[in-house]
Amino acid sequence: MAKACTDSILDLIAGLGLGAGDRLPGERELARRLGFSRTTVRESLVALAARGRVEVRGRSGCYVGTHADAEAESALHADTAAALDALRALGPHLAARAAHRCTPEAARRLETVTARLGRFLVNRDPAQTAREYLTFFVVLAGVAGNPFLSLLARELAQVQGLAVRPTMDKAVVESFFALHVSLLQALQARDARRAVPLAAHGLDAFAAMMGGGELREAVA
């Protein structure tokens, strides 16, 4: 029961597009949304806090943590590039499914992540850019209702210390972001026909911008 609740909380974080430092709904609201008792929710939050996934700040509530689960890092060790390749292969199908299911609320969540992505691009921050772009696909997976890709994207987005060889000159960045914004607009319009190629081109542009598509674990 506790593990199911823990997984449900992680899925909710992904579905809401919450990033590090964002506040989670309260225990009562989590229990209502997820269908577990408040005691089970509390135990799951404690377990997630021990893993660095969330941070409990006394009476102010529970917030998304800044540290990845060591188990997730181990599972993805040396496999980040392969996981990204899988995302590139599945992304267009995911975009098609999400376009048909993109409610106004889901569209707003995707727009929020896109706004953060834009800020990181303006600041030329490759590591945060990579994580925020992957977070977009975490949210997209939640919208599409694909649990496998949701898990893959979520764990990939949580990997710490990504080593990238970015090509973040102005023309490359603007080209990538224009594709991404076009994808967002297609999803908001629930236009799957446009969303599919835009997702494919955007993922290719992201991989090229990040250095030939290689996202590798950083080594000391």
Calculate ∠ Cα 9-10-13, nearest 5°: 85
Residue-level pLDDT at 30: 93
Mean pLDDT of 82-94: 76
User: Between these two residues, 127 and 40, which has the higher pLDDT value?
Assistant: 40
What digits encode the pLDDT tens for the residues 1-51? 667 888 889 888 887 878 888 899 999 999 999 999 988 898 888 878 867
Mean pLDDT of 78-90: 65
Q: Taking 50 as the threshold, does the pLDDT of residue 72 lie above it? A: no
Cβ atoms of 177 and 37 closer than 8 Å: no
Q: How far is 45 from 23, CA to CA, in rounded Å?
A: 13
Q: What is the pTM of this model?
A: 0.60
User: How far, in Å, are 55, 82, 90, 118, 181 from residue 86 at the CA level?
Assistant: 31, 6, 6, 24, 22
- Among 32-41, 157-166, 182-191, the range of highest mean pLDDT: 182-191
Residue-level pLDDT at 95: 94
User: How far, in Å, are 6, 15, 37, 155, 219 from residue 130 at the CA level?
Assistant: 26, 18, 36, 13, 18
Residue-level pLDDT at 78: 42
Residue-level pLDDT at 71: 45
Phi-psi region of 77 (alpha: psi -120 to 50; beta: other; left: phi over 0): beta
- Among 43-57, 82-96, 133-147, 193-207, the range of highest mean pLDDT: 193-207
Mean pLDDT of 115-119: 95
Domains and CATH numbers, the chain: 2-64 (1.10.10.10), 70-217 (1.20.120.530)
Residue-level pLDDT at 75: 44
Mean pLDDT of 93-102: 93
Residue-level pLDDT at 1: 63
Mean pLDDT of 107-113: 94
